[in-house]
Amino acid sequence: MINLRINDQKVSVQEGTTVLAASKKLKINIPTLCNHDDLCVAGNCRVCLVEQKGARTLIASCATPAAEGMEIHTNTLKVRNARKHIVELLLSEHRSDCTKCYKNQNCELQSLANDFAFGDHVFLDLVEDKKYNIDRSSPSFIKDDSKCIRCQRCVRTCSELQYVSAISVANKGAHQKISSFHDRPMSQVVCTNCGQCVNRCPTGALVEKTYIDQVWDAIYDPEKHVVVQTAPAVRVALGEDLGYDPGERVTGKMVNALRQLGFNSVLDTDFSADLTIMEEGTELLVRLKKALVDGDKSISLPMFTSCSPGWIKFIEHKYPEFLPNLSTCKSPQQMFGALAKTFYAKKRNIDPSKIVSVSVMPCTAKKFEADRPEMRSSGFKDVDFVLTTRELAVMIKQAGIDFRNVEEAGYDTIMGDSTGAAVIFGATGGVMEAALRTAYEIVTGREVPFGNLNITPVRGMDGVKEATIKIEGCVNAWKFLEGVELKVAIAHGLVNANKIMKMTREGKAPYHFVEIMACPGGCIGGGGQPIPTNMEIRKKRMKAIYSEDEHKLLRKSHENPDVIAIYKEFLDQPNSHKSHELLHTHYVERDNF
Amino acid sequence: MENKGLTKVDLIFEKIDSKEVMVKAFKMSSAEIIQSMLDSGLKGRGGAGFPTGLKWKYTAAEKSPEKYIVCNADEGEPGTFKDREILDRASNKVHGGMAIAGKAIGAKKGFVYLRGEYRYLLPKLMIELASFHKMIHEIGFDFSIEYRMGSGAYICGEESALFESIEGKRGEPRNKPPYPTTSGVFEKPTSINNVETLVTAMMIIHHGAQNFIQYGTKDSRGSKVFSVSGDTPTPGIFELELGMTVLQFVNEFGDGDTKAVQVGGASGFCVPRKKFAETIIGFEGVPTGGSMKLFNSSRSMYNVLHNYLDFFTEESCGQCTPCRVGCQQLLKGVEKVKKGEAKSTYLTELVKLADTMKIAAKCGLGQSVGNAFKSIVGNFKEEIIY
């Protein structure tokens, strides 16, 4: 243990603990900016400077390990003056059009300004002299360099968590900026639109592209029938933007609030998540049969899940030779979209051209996905507008809804029913667990051999998880799988996805089925989720997701009555011709820069 | 205060049999080599002046199968060009010094990080390097050197930014600790020394520490190569004993009308005429990596300051706030004062900012911007305002 004193209080910490963490232990608050729990130390904003007795300079508390006998003071005159200067310097290169800014009231720089740099500023405005680029090329987010304060959280996120490095630091000195390859528009580089950078940007330099106004316009258009679907992970995080602590389930309140906003029908992506299990599970079993029984060499294994649009774009850019390994299933959002303007329209007897299909997603990449040209199999744009969890919270606030006192309500019928298997799609390992619950039962006629259906080996926050399930006692139709050890793997965060892909490229991935989610923790940690998102919060949301599952009466996708009904009335059977037309897709190779 | 007067010395460029000196060094133990460096009082010749013996001692003490010697030849300080001359005329001693340092700390590999603009020296250096490798092979000592090129960024002369650059990354300073002696290039214990330091180390082995300390003062032992430029009839490279006053220097090199000397380049200090007599050139007074720039009365000190600030605004890596934004504010601030668009009292605010940069910036670059700023504004305020 290391013993030191901070503001004259003794504290003992493990070796390697930073001065910042040691201060936290004493409940001494030191302001930070470039620091983020998910990322490596940068030490570049200098907001967290403190005074160390005997040191020539102030030290960055986030970047300095505690040392034996250190004497630290966090609020000396020297520290205060330097900190005020630093915050003012940051403000002098930041376009402070706060009242117009999407991040107003939710901006870390603004709150530092409130605390340390109120009143007149000493320094000159540097923004007016410079030409800044505002990149609106991506359908998912906007990159506004005039608000960037070069903390490099986005750069670290993109390289450390996502292994993408679509953005990095360019130039030096006054010209230093966060840039893409050859300054190309963000829509023309390797960016996966995952939005993890958006989630970590402390200012308004990276924000999602919002479609709130378009959705309001549709709601108020009497000609339009507006349907909304809500992704599994939204219900366990939305509360955070509306005054609840992380980990609170607000499903029923959210449904009621959506109805109050004026959506004509409030439906659930969980329905199409169950449908995904039917389609993807069948696809896997067919691939296994072709590979194991028929000896078909053209079958690509392992099969990768295809629910996460950030992951899809990643593999399209970085490992295009493995596109045949991707499940051809569309994501639940897009399955829902295709059915909303076909099956749903027919059932409700509504002209599909009058339907506006809106989704609420924990994700910014979903905005890009909805815009893909492949996603028009209904004959229309299958999903018209994608809102993030954060945007929905804004709409609820705009409508003046007292969320805390909204009564709980249930989803509408037709594509509103779901099972616990679908809701866990929102956490890493969830798709795998849901698929196993159904596939195992189809093949053996029995439930998965795990207590209370909880397949714990595929759960948790490990970056790469592996599991093996021995298939025994198969029903006649699946006898060929008797004794097969089904090997599965799960990765979340693209840096972990890359590990699996590297193994696959080297021929060292012995798996049959792999679930990959672009974001750390899966969708619960998505780029469109409330800010902040960090490990502690992800764990709380994950707990809430599994609790939502436990509280469901039905917990296996193939038992979803709406799913059973749609096959009977419309799709015939999983992987049918009709399914392929509406629910499956293909992928494109993209440049790796 | 000790004052040794101005004496020309010929140590750095003295012709020696480098093989003989290396053989002598390799017969010594690591501890003996380090002790002779400590005895010599040699301080780093790049400008920062860290005791070379201590640096080697700390690196030697690290238990790691891999260690490195890095020669910092990214000579980028405005007004210094002595390393270029040393590399051109005495690269055998640079390589030899690296091998001796390697013996001292237990490194088998060295890197020379050569300033991008010195690429033209490379063909000649490669010939010298080949004969060095041949010689070291004959002696039977396991040590090799590799050259890595800079690309013109001033910040890459900062040791940890230099490591990043060698590793193929963007040249940005790292957080310290850990210091290079624990975690340097490729995160291995590294001793990084200036070109001249390594040559001087070799000469200390050759002549012995006791001979070396005959030169210089208590705080500034030995001699130093100076790059003399500006308003002088005799610009060039001069090796001088440490411990002279600026006045003695100006009497030798000035044009009779010297009003200020910038000692240590853009990151150094500006000494005005009234302080020439009392200022010693050395670690007890104004330290320098070698740059000595003389200004006569025809020069506008506003222009001099503006030039330096322009340089820093361009050459800051841009990573940390105080340096990236602070440099721009200082530059824009003095411009406004000069144009009368800001009150002259605004200079006081800028001096406060320079003080903040000195204690808040991440690396030596940002921390030393205030040196030139404060010494020029402090001594030539009227030239900035009017």
pLDDT tens column, B243-282: 999 999 999 999 999 999 999 999 999 999 999 999 999 9
Which chain B residues have a beta carbon less than 8 Å from that of A64?
A: 175, 177
Output the six-digit token pair for A130: 């410079």
Rounded (5°) CA angle A240-A246-A248: 90
* Minimum Cα–Cα distance from A62: chain B residue: B175
Q: pLDDT per residue over B143-170, tens digit each?
A: 999 999 999 999 999 999 999 999 999 9
Residue A14 CA to residue A70 CA, distance in Å, equals 14
Q: Choose from A70, A85, A155, A175 for mutation: most chain B CBs within 10 A.
A: A85
> Residue B262 pairs with which residues in a beta bridge?
B270, B293
| Domain B301-385: CATH architecture, name and number where available | Up-down Bundle (1.20)
CA distance B177 to chain A (A): 7
Q: Are strands A464-470 and A485-492 parallel, antiparallel or unpaired?
A: antiparallel
Nearest to A82 among B316, B328, B360 (CB): B360
Which chain B residues have a beta carbon less than 8 Å from that of A150?
A: 318-319, 321, 324
> Residue B295 pairs with which residues in a beta bridge?
B260
Residue B358 CA to residue B365 CA, distance in Å, equals 9
Q: Rounded mean pLDDT of B324-338? A: 98
Q: What is the pLDDT of residue A118?
A: 87
| Domain A212-271+333-405: CATH architecture, name and number where available | 3-Layer(aba) Sandwich (3.40)
CB contact under 8 A, A174 and B367: no
**Does residue B168 sit at the A interface (CB-CB below 8 Å)?**
no
| Domain A124-208: CATH architecture, name and number where available | 2-Layer Sandwich (3.30)
**Does residue B36 sit at the A interface (CB-CB below 8 Å)?**
no
**Per-position pLDDT tens, chain A of length 593:** 999 999 999 999 999 999 999 999 999 999 999 999 999 999 999 999 999 999 999 999 999 999 999 999 999 999 999 999 999 999 999 999 999 999 999 999 999 999 999 888 999 999 988 889 999 999 999 999 999 999 999 999 999 999 999 999 999 999 999 999 999 999 999 999 999 999 999 999 999 999 999 999 999 999 999 999 999 999 999 999 999 999 999 999 999 999 999 999 999 999 999 999 999 999 999 999 999 888 899 999 999 999 999 999 999 999 999 999 999 999 999 999 999 999 999 999 999 999 999 999 999 999 999 999 999 999 999 999 999 999 999 999 999 999 999 999 999 989 999 999 999 999 999 999 999 999 999 999 999 999 999 999 999 999 999 999 999 999 998 998 999 999 999 999 999 999 999 999 999 999 999 999 999 999 999 999 999 999 999 999 999 999 999 999 999 999 999 999 999 999 999 999 999 999 999 999 999 99
Q: pLDDT per residue over A11-50, tens digit each?
A: 999 999 999 999 999 999 999 999 999 999 999 999 999 9
Q: What is the pLDDT of residue B119?
A: 97
CATH code given to domain A2-75:
3.10.20.740
Q: pLDDT per residue over A303-348, tens digit each?
A: 999 999 999 999 999 999 999 999 999 999 999 999 999 999 999 9
Measured over the CA atoms of residue A38, residue A41, residue A46 and residue A52, the dihedral's sign is positive
Q: What is the pLDDT of residue A129?
A: 86
Residue B224 CA to residue B238 CA, distance in Å, equals 8
**Does residue B352 sit at the A interface (CB-CB below 8 Å)?**
yes
Can you tell me which residue has the tokens 């402390």? Answer: A202
Task: Give residue B17's Cα distance to chain centre.
Answer: 26
Output the six-digit token pair for B207: 């002549």
Output the six-digit token pair for B45: 């010749």
What is the CATH T-level fold of the domain B18-212, as seen in this structure? Rossmann fold (3.40.50)
Q: What is the pLDDT of residue B1?
A: 54
| Domain segments of chain B as ranges | 18-212, 301-385
Phi, psi of A2 (to 5 degrees): -105, 130
Fill in the DSSP letter of residue B140.
T
Residue A444 CB neighbours (<10 A): 18
Buried b (16+ CB within 10 A) or exposed e, B117-149: ebeebeeebeebbeebeebbeeeebebebebbe
Helix (H, G, I), strand (E, B) or coil at B63: coil
* Minimum Cα–Cα distance from B179: chain A residue: A64
CB A337 within 8 A of CB A357: yes
CA A271 vs CA A88, A339, A362, A388, B350: distances in Å: 50, 11, 17, 19, 63
A vs B, Cβ pairs < 8 A, gives 118
Nearest to A173 among B316, B360, B361 (CB): B316
| Domain segments of chain A as ranges | 2-75, 124-208, 212-271+333-405, 284-329+423-583
Residue A564 CB neighbours (<10 A): 14
Nearest to B317 among A64, A126, A172 (CB): A172
Q: Choose from B309, B313, B325 for mutation: most chain A CBs within 10 A.
A: B325
Residue A80 CA to residue A78 CA, distance in Å, equals 6
CA distance A129 to chain B (A): 10
For the entire predicted model, the pTM comes to 0.95
Residue A585 CB neighbours (<10 A): 22
Measured over the CA atoms of residue A360, residue A365, residue A369 and residue A370, the dihedral's sign is positive
CB contact under 8 A, B319 and A44: yes
CA distance B291 to chain A (A): 23
Q: What is the pLDDT of residue A358?
A: 98
The answer, yes or no, to whether ipTM is higher than 0.90 is: yes
Q: What is the pLDDT of residue A292?
A: 87
**Does residue B182 sit at the A interface (CB-CB below 8 Å)?**
no
CB contact under 8 A, A176 and B326: no
Output the six-digit token pair for B22: 């290396």
Closest C-alpha to A82, from B353, B364, B154, B109: B353
Quote the CATH superfamily of domain A284-329+423-583: Fe-only Hydrogenase (Larger Subunit); Chain L, domain 3 (3.40.950.10)
